[in-house]
Structure 1
């Protein structure tokens, strides 16, 4: 993997801090990189060094992830909220429009922005993601709401999912956390890929290490999009879209093929790799596809 210098920065928006990593000349074509669920801005560390020198990439830690602030207890982590945050970051950076590079849940955030504000996005790049990752059938909305409320109440009562005292460690060593991350999130990942993400997801406490992310993001939201809503955002995307799916990823069995049909102008590639293929060896062919697509 090539090494390219980047800058760490904190953007404050209405008193809320969003952590970002900036690669490249800030006068270059702007690209916003949005990671997936339980990941962070390090998600693109292997890929970015191989991309064009004529772009400026800003990778963000979504709220509750990485080094960004956690939301207050009276607010939630919905895709809509992440989309609003991203739009505020774009505005704060002084960008009138940009390209969005997204993985997994990040493609759900990107689809909302590009579908609702097509003038803000010039091109989209989706890596093993096709919009909103978690949807609910309309007839199950009431049931899922009830389950979500009960799950949060139970997690707080039993101190599960990181709801324990903030000084309680879940791992004695960082190595334990790396191995836990390899097996216990969507799609297994390699040691190196896990280490890359863990470096930004772990916090040292007196009793060892614990996850830095807000434990609430592990739980189901009270309200999720329906499949019809997810496709409606995709249907309203106007720009060119590059979609790279892993043959062993979430869409290996043809899941959501109906969504691909909703894109007006999409190029789709399927290559060997799992859900986090951009953090594995596939980052090299992916970078080639992206550079060809951007043509900068």
Structure 2
């Protein structure tokens, strides 16, 4: 698999982010947003198949080669939404489309719902709204999050003696992936340390959320969307079997496409990437 890709750095007022840049300078602007604990390599198969687009595939803060947030800062979904907006500002993109997978799709929906005047189109892969929580559970969840934060200094990342061991661990992680996909993610996500390799990602990314949106909050963001939306559901992914997702989609003017494959169907293999590209290629160029 070979594709022309440029490594870029984005020096935002509050943080430096890394990204992969695909496509011609005059292509339609698209920001590609990966999932939790992934990185810009999530789009290594898909982006080269989307001709005519200027795709900036970000490493979210705390992921890949992007900087970690300052001490005391957080990794909440709305923090990522602000980062995306700040990137668009630096690129001079007044209106742009979002291509999001999993957590990246959720951030895309939040941003598009909050600032519909900035977002032209949403191309979503196996992601729509965040895990929700109702008000009666909020004190308990905040308590769990605070305890986890206090315990974090004593938590150590795993160290793998060889890259193959890290790849095998990623294959079995949340949102299991193929070996080829794990190798791509590991290529950008690992760093050498004494004794072997560990993940570059900020350990704070594994902390539980201190506060979750309610179902009503999440639904409000979907209702607020004004741009065209194309959603790919993986038949073996995280959304297809969720009845709550069907309820949210009910009556919404979204194009929903169910495809065979797992949660990372756009990265696991070439046929999966091509199937997703066939759906998004014309949609993002309209």
8 Å Cα contact 2:23/2:48 also seen in 1: no
Runs of 4+ with deviation above 4 angstroms: none
- What SS does the corresponding residue of 2:218 show, helix, strand or coil? helix
Consecutive unaligned residues of structure 1, counting only runs of 5 or more, are: 163-168
Aligned runs of 1:180-259 on 2, under 5 Å? 180-185=169-174, 187-255=175-243, 256-259=245-248
Query: Counterpart of 1:287?
Result: 277
Structure 1 stretch 176-185 or stretch 254-263: which is displaced more? 254-263
String of CA shifts for 1:79-112, please: whole Å, max 9, x gaps.
Answer: 0000000000000001011010000011111111
Asked if 1:155 corresponds to 2:152, the answer is yes
TM-score (norm. length: structure 2): 0.95
In 2, Cα distance between equivalents of 1:64 and 1:188: 21
Matches within 5 A, 1:30-45: 30-45=29-44
Match 1:79 to one of 74, 77, 80: 77
Partners of 2:256 and 2:93 in 1: CA distance: 28
Residue 273 in 1 paired to residue 261 in 2? Answer: yes
- SS of equivalent residue, structure 1 residue 229: helix
User: 1:181-220: CA deviations, max 9, x gaps?
Assistant: 00022x2211001011111111111221111000111121
Distance in 2 between the 1:68 and 1:61 partners? 6
Moved more, 14-23 or 30-39: 14-23
Match of 1:272, SS state, is strand
Could you tell me which residue of structure 1 aligns to residue 45 of structure 2?
46
The answer to whether the Cα contact below 8 Å between 2:53 and 2:285 also exists between their aligned partners in 1 is no
Distance 1:234 1:146, change over 3 A: same
| Partner residue, 1:165 | none
Q: Distance in 1 between matches of 2:58 and 2:284?
A: 20
2:160 to 171, 190, 194: 171
State whether structure 2 residue 136 is matched by structure 1 residue 139. yes
State the alpha-carbon separation in 1 of the partners of residues 255 and 227 from structure 2: 12
In 2, Cα distance between equivalents of 1:223 and 1:17: 26
The runs of 5 or more residues in structure 2 that have no matched partner are: none
CA distance in 2, matches of 1:76, 1:258: 31
Assess if the C-alpha contact under 8 Å between 2:123 and 2:284 holds in 1: no
Residues 1:21 and 2:37 aligned together: no
Residue pair 1:33, 1:102 contacting (<8 A) in 2 also = yes
Contact 2:126–2:233 (Cα < 8 Å) also in 1? yes
SS in 2 for 1:200: helix
Counterparts of 2:282 and 2:16, CA distance in 1: 34
CA contact (8 A) 1:80 1:112 kept: yes
Distance in structure 2 (CA, Å) of the matches to 1:150 and 1:32: 35
Bigger mean CA deviation after superposition, 231-240 or 216-225: 216-225
Q: Is the 8 A contact 2:36 2:103 kept in 1?
A: yes
- Matches of 2:236 and 2:107 in 1, distance apart? 23
* Counterpart-to-counterpart distance in 1, 2:145 and 2:181: 31
